[in-house]
Amino acid sequence: MVSLAAWVRDPARGVDVRLDLAAGETVALMGPNGAGKSTVLATVAGLLRPAEAHVRVGDRVLAGEGQWVPPHRRSVALLGQQPRLFPHLTVRENVAFGPRSAGRKDADLAEHWLDWVGASALADRRPRELSGGQAQRVAIARALATEPDVVLLDEPLASLDVEAVPEVRRLLRRVLAETTTVLVTHDPLDAMTLADRAVIVEAGRVVHEGTARDVLTHPRSAFGAALAGVNLVEGVVTGPDHLRSPDGRELAGTARGAMDLGSAATATFAPSAVAVHRERPGGSPRNVLPGVVTGIEVRGTTCRLEISGWLADVTTAAAAELELEPGRDVWMSIKATEVRLDPA
């Protein structure tokens, strides 16, 4: 296993992104459509030559320093949403295609990788005879048969039927344990279960990176918050553990890092941490704020409320008892221990 270092700058696309992966590490590259994820993958794969790029795999320079190695010599495998198997070849022939093109003995490698992904029984079938999950298994085997140094996965589960996703995800977990991988996904579960780290890209720039769990449970960008389904409040520090949002609302929380007075910071908290009341609650909770219900989404036994731009989860029984509906004035109470404050 080898490391991957990539820097991609393309002013025409508004992209300036750096990625560094340790040998054997899996990084989930996440962000909204048009953020630059595909530009990064295509550059690493050698399919796109941007204005400036530097790509190094182990000790090999693939781009930069006067070098531009063509795709077929990079030892980089790219697997997208669609399996894109050759329709006129059998499964075995599809998997053997890469090694054969490289002048290697193909039969043993094809059988090995088909067995490894649990698809040996499909060897003599044509792609049209495969289910979506089976075809993606074969596509994974074909990508691995070339024994690449780096694997690039571009939303490999996005086009699969719901029933096939868990099976292929389990397979990918095995695959990624032995490869250096960049995984593009919009699914938080994929990132949490498959990746060591997550990198959030917005408008062509990295806005947050860290362990997958930390990035998705405590996001620092609007996209990350929407992806994780948590509240993200941006504001300025008004005290060691206080933040004021642009609309004047104050939040107390637990600071994770130096909080300099007047500096920018973010607060994150789960919708489940928000208690909703019709009357101002008694006692001395540190965060009690008024709001107006602007949206209600029923999710089985719970309701997701939007209250003055923040999200709250309550049971359907509680929503009925409180007579919650759009336009209703309410009070929110949020435990300070449930609010995380981070320097911006």
| Same domain for 304 and 277 | yes
Q: Which residue, of 217, 251, 270, is where some domain finishes?
A: 217
Average pLDDT, the chain: 91
| Same domain for 88 and 126 | yes
- Residue 283's pLDDT band, with cuts at 50, 70 and 90, is confident
pLDDT tens, position by position, 136-188: 889 988 988 888 999 999 998 887 887 788 888 888 888 888 899 999 998 88
Q: Which residue, of 217, 243, 264, is where some domain finishes?
A: 217
Mean pLDDT of 296-313: 93
CATH of the domain at 9: 3.40.50.300
pLDDT at site 108 = 73
| Same domain for 149 and 93 | yes
pLDDT at site 106 = 59
| Same domain for 210 and 95 | yes
Q: Which domain holds residue 300?
A: 235-344
How many CA within 13 A on the CB side of residue 86?
A: 12
CB 178 within 8 A of CB 13: no
Residue 159: count other Cβ atoms within 10 Å of its Cβ. Answer: 14
| Same domain for 305 and 191 | no
pLDDT tens, position by position, 192-238: 999 999 999 999 999 999 999 888 888 888 888 888 888 999 999 99
The amino acid that residue 232 corresponds to is L
Q: Which parts of 218-323 fold into alpha helices (H)?
A: 222-228, 316-321
| Same domain for 165 and 48 | yes
Q: Which residue, of 167, 183, 217, is where some domain finishes?
A: 217
CATH of the domain at 292: 2.40.50.100
pLDDT at site 104 = 67
Q: 88 lies in a domain?
A: yes
Q: 175 lies in a domain?
A: yes
Angle between helices 91-101 and 107-116 (to 10 degrees): 130
| Same domain for 141 and 250 | no
Q: 228 lies in a domain?
A: no
Mean pLDDT of 265-274: 92
Range in 6-10, 105-109, 295-299 the model is least confident about:
105-109
* N residues, the chain: 344
What is residue 242's three-state secondary structure? strand
| Same domain for 263 and 324 | yes
User: Model-level pTM?
Assistant: 0.80
How distant is the alpha carbon of residue 22 from its chain centre? 18
Q: Which parts of 9-122 fold into alpha helices (H)?
A: 37-45, 91-101, 107-116
Q: Which residue has the higher pLDDT, 127 or 283?
A: 127
pLDDT at site 103 = 66
| Same domain for 168 and 29 | yes
Mean pLDDT of 273-302: 91
pLDDT at site 71 = 94
Q: 227 lies in a domain?
A: no
pLDDT tens, position by position, 35-48: 999 999 999 999 99
Q: Which residue has the higher pLDDT, 67 or 285?
A: 67
| Same domain for 168 and 25 | yes
Q: 285 lies in a domain?
A: yes
Residue 52: count other Cβ atoms within 10 Å of its Cβ. Answer: 14
pLDDT tens, position by position, 63-116: 998 999 999 999 999 998 888 899 999 999 999 988 887 666 655 778 888 888
Percentage of the chain beyond pLDDT 90 is 63
| Same domain for 154 and 121 | yes
Q: Which residue has the higher pLDDT, 300 or 331?
A: 331
In the predicted structure, residue 280 carries a pLDDT above the cut 80: yes
CB 119 within 8 A of CB 134: yes
